[in-house]
Chain A
Amino acid sequence: MPVRRPLSSLFALALAACSLPAAVADSVLDRVRESGVVRIGTGNDTPPMSYIDESGRWVGFDIELGNALADRLKAKVERVAVNNKTRIALLANGQIDMTVSNRSQTRSREEQVDYASPPYLWTAKIFYAKQGRFAGIGELAGKRIGVNQGSNAFTAAAQEIARYGGEAPQVVSFQKNAEGMTALRQGKIDAFCQDSPIIAALAGDTGGSFAAVGTGFSPGLYGIGVPPNDSKWRDAVSFALQDLIKDGTYERIYLAWFGPAGRYPLALDARPRLPPDAFGAMMYVWPD
């Protein structure tokens, strides 16, 4: 049975450390059907993906997508706040049933947990700095680059700058995006590196004095994380997500947040779609 409370998970860890055999887990699907509750891990400080607004409500693209998925699965949402560092561990330990938390699929993450299909948003990493200060990414060599601890920008930013040669940057990891942005405004770091949609939201309140340096790099695809080795549950989540794509719910949520008239319009369409000249740019879902 999956572990439900943080305290008991500590005991579970202690047991694991003693190499005692753990109970064989049923599928999360059975538990969700039985209890009618799905535990979704989301961030709470990452506009526009998932955050708590001024009136204390959970809002964001990921929040709405998670709610729609829960509706599809005929379950109520139990929201668990996760951050970039805890979201994998909580999934792997079975303390949450899925993450909808702006998480790119990476090989190292795939080794720990699984992802539902298809990925729901493509993103690029962007360096964000004072307007006009840097002509290109190459000029960031040896500079102080802020990232959010737990984001794979830590690795990607240094790799990208290394491609242009020159001195390695000093990568500074903050606990929150907002702290990184404050540090950027104050000149404590020379650039901040984060995913394109998150930068779009962070850029919203800087009044145009900051801009992207060069073009986006290190493309990534956000995917819904599920606990490892539970294909029954992974399929259920994948089917639910694909149903949302087919019935237009996904489209509605996307346009509300990132469409031309949305809250944070993205210059490039972030929906992972098939080539426009072959399939009319439809999103791919598994055929029946």
Chain B
Amino acid sequence: MRYEVDWSILARPELAALLIDGVRYTMIVAAVSTGVSLVLGTALAIARVSGSGWLRWPAELWVNLARHIPGVFWVLFFYFAFPELLPATWGSALNGWTSFALAAGIVALSVDNATYVSDIVRTGALAIPRGEWEAARCCGLSPWQQWTCCLIPVTLRTVTPPLANRTIHNFKNSSLCMVIAVPELTWATQQIESLTFRGIEATLVATLFYVTVALALGVWARRLERGGYRHWRGAGAVWRRERGELARVDSRR
């Protein structure tokens, strides 16, 4: 008994179309959910390290609850259960929406990933020396400016490697959306297998795609880590001078 690999099936237009569509859906799910979760996760992180208990405790509670929940749960939850929790008219409007599966998948991965992003960003923010926080405050910046101009850029630079890992992870998690019939790449390989009974060829091509994109993300993150974030200007520049000042003072001590 042996499996004869037959690459020609991938040249069949209807099967190639499934793969190409799969790539499209995978990229949409991964890109949008990563973007949303970076923003959401950073907001959660700020809430967790901020002084106000009203912000801190709900965020803390949420993250500690959500990070113990499997990603596939969120996918099934937002697709099957969430519309049932809404008023009937809203629920049936969602269910009737042709792109609901795609939207539910994106929301699910965003929620799932935001939890981990928040942990990463929080760690990075706490790693900023106390003096630098004070420096940011001393520049006369509003809390919003302190974060957006000073603390977030520095934090992001520190946590770029773990964030890149997380992004690669989230990219691969896009395959979870197959369980709610989003025709992404993994779903497409399964569909090709069910039509041709040959799964190896399409799966190998899909794996190659996942590996290539993940490697590219890694390389990009490395470059960002080395030289990125230079474009953050404005009030942050003052703070950067102050930080430089501080570092010099520190070294003289």
Contacts and interface: CB of A to CB of B under 8 A. Distances in A.
11 contacts: A16-B3, A85-B194, A92-B197, A154-B194, A154-B195, A170-B98, A173-B183, A187-B95, A187-B96, A188-B101, A227-B1
Contacts of A175: 178-179, 181
A88 B195 CA distance: 11
Given A3-B1, A13-B200, A173-B181, A149 B95 contact: no
A92 B1 contact: yes
Instruction: Please classify the interface of chain B as helix (H, G, I), strand (E, B), loop, or mixed, using the class held by over half of its residues.
Output: helix
A89 interface: yes
B2 interface: yes
Given A175-B179, A188-B101, A149 B190 contact: yes
A118 to B, nearest CB: 23
Contact of A186 (B4, B83, B194, B199): B83
A93 B96 contact: no
B92 interface: yes
Interface residues of B, number: 30
Q: A interface, how many residues as a size bin?
A: 35 or more
B242 to A, nearest CB: 55
A17 B95 contact: no
The interface centre, meaning the residue of B1, B80, B179, B187 with most chain A CB atoms within 10 A of its CB, is B1
B3 A155 contact: no
A84 B197 CA distance: 10
A226 B237 CA distance: 73
Given A93-B1, A144-B98, A173-B187, 13 more contacts: A22-B2, A89-B193, A89-B197, A89-B199, A92-B197, A108-B195, A108-B196, A149-B190, A154-B194, A174-B181, A175-B179, A183-B80, A188-B100
Contact of A182 (B3, B5, B80, B91): B80
Interface in A151-178: 151, 154-155, 170, 172-175
Contacts of A232: none
Contacts of A94: 1
B194 A12 contact: no
Interface in A71-100: 84-85, 88-89, 92-94
A162 to B, nearest CB: 14
A94 B197 CA distance: 14
Interface string A167-211: 000101111000100110011100000000000000000000000
Interface in B42-97: 79-80, 83-84, 91-92, 95-96
A218 interface: no
A93 B4 CA distance: 11
Given A175-B179, A186-B84, A150 B194 contact: yes
Interface of A: 2-3, 12-13, 15-17, 22, 25, 84-85, 88-89, 92-94, 108-109, 112, 144, 146, 149-151, 154-155, 170, 172-175, 179, 182-183, 186-188, 227
Interface in B219-234: none
B104 to A, nearest CB: 10
Given A172-B181, A187-B96, A84 B194 contact: yes
B191 interface: yes
Nearest to A95: B1
B101 A149 contact: no
Given A22-B2, A92-B1, A173-B181, A109 B195 contact: no
